[in-house]
Amino acid sequence: MTAAELAGGQNTSRKFRRLTIGVIAAVAAYTGGWFATAHYLEGRLQQAFADGSANGVAVECDDLDVRGFPFRIGIFCDTVRLDDRTLASSASFGALRSAAQVYQPGHAVIELDGPAEFRSSTGVRVSADWSLLHASMRSGLSGMNRFSATYDQLKATVMLPLTGDRVDIDAAHGETHMRRNGPDLDIAASVDALDLRPDAGPSLLPPTRATVDLTLFDRAGLADYKAITGDALRGSKGELRDLTIDLGNGMVGNASGPFSIDAKGLISGEFKVTIREISNARPVLTAAFPDEDSTAAINNIANMLRALNNGRDDATVTINVHKGKASLAFFPLGELPAL
């Protein structure tokens, strides 16, 4: 072997050793950085929980742990409990699992297990469970930019105050989506095969599909990292792009139009409403609301809708709502509850 060949071999060996040392150093630095970030995140969460408790919103995350090394980072809790003293309400859930890619920490995916319990100062109690609840969140410095949640096989029971009435709720699938749109907030939601059973009795309506798509003007701040108060929607305006309720067999209702919510939570607006298969819907609704007053109101409204549309089974009308009171032309239809 010549001297030149020997020197070349030594240079190659030195380069390999340097590369190996560099890789080991990079891995060690990355590992140290990941665990330092996990420790910092856990500390920040504990501090945020303490600050929230001092401000009236207590959050408990049992056995809080930060996991995901090497390429992800996420928060894990065995159970989650919330207690909002401002709204005088509380909630509890099962295990929480979250994960975000290290290179994209602002995009997190979350899974939450049931069962869940909700209680409010008004006396409303809700218990719920599901086969899967999955959420995705994209965040910036000021708060969430986008949020999506989906659930499957929801089963819930709502206990109403004072009367103690019970409503059982089932849904095969549901979705909720929210995004910032400049100063506005876009919201869309849907539910499939919704089934309502008052007092554990028969279903109130056929399995129903419902969707809603709306915008709240100048309410992007609702997505910020701040507590949302019970009157957050009061004083707001918006546009209902579409509200659809599908009872099956062609029985579909659609509504759209601008609306506003006053300081007392009462809704005002002018809505274009289309109802299809009025004759088929009449017996379904009267069976769901069999008391004399409700049956009379349903029959009167059905007759009025058909009369306004030359006896056709499909009708398009304008419904005006003023401070929660809905009317069709000069005929009152009922009152909407305050938000």
Domain range spanning residue 313?
Answer: 233-339
Predicted local confidence at residue 54, as pLDDT: 67
Tally of domains within the chain: 1
Residue 257 phi/psi, 5-degree rounding, is 150, 170
Query: Does residue 147 form part of some domain?
Result: no
Q: Please report whether residue 223 resides in a domain.
A: no
- What is the pLDDT, as a whole number, of residue 5? 47
Residue 25 within any structural domain of the chain: no
Specify whether the CB–CB gap between 158 and 166 falls below 8 A: yes
What are the 10-residue block averages of pLDDT along the chain, 339 residues in total? 48 70 80 79 78 76 87 90 84 92 85 92 90 89 83 93 84 95 94 90 89 94 65 88 92 94 92 89 82 80 79 86 86 81
Does a structural domain hold residue 317? Answer: yes
For residue 289, the one-letter residue type is F
Please give the Cα distance from 32 to 22 (Å, whole number): 15
Is 29 buried (19+), middle (13-18) or exposed (0-12) by CB count in 10 A? exposed
pTM score, whole prediction: 0.83
Indicate whether 51 belongs to any domain: no
Q: Does residue 162 lie within any of the structural domains? A: no
Q: Is 335 within a domain?
A: yes
Look at residue 238 and tell me if it is in a domain: yes
Contacts of 114 (CB under 8 A, 6+ apart): 93, 94, 128, 129, 130, 133
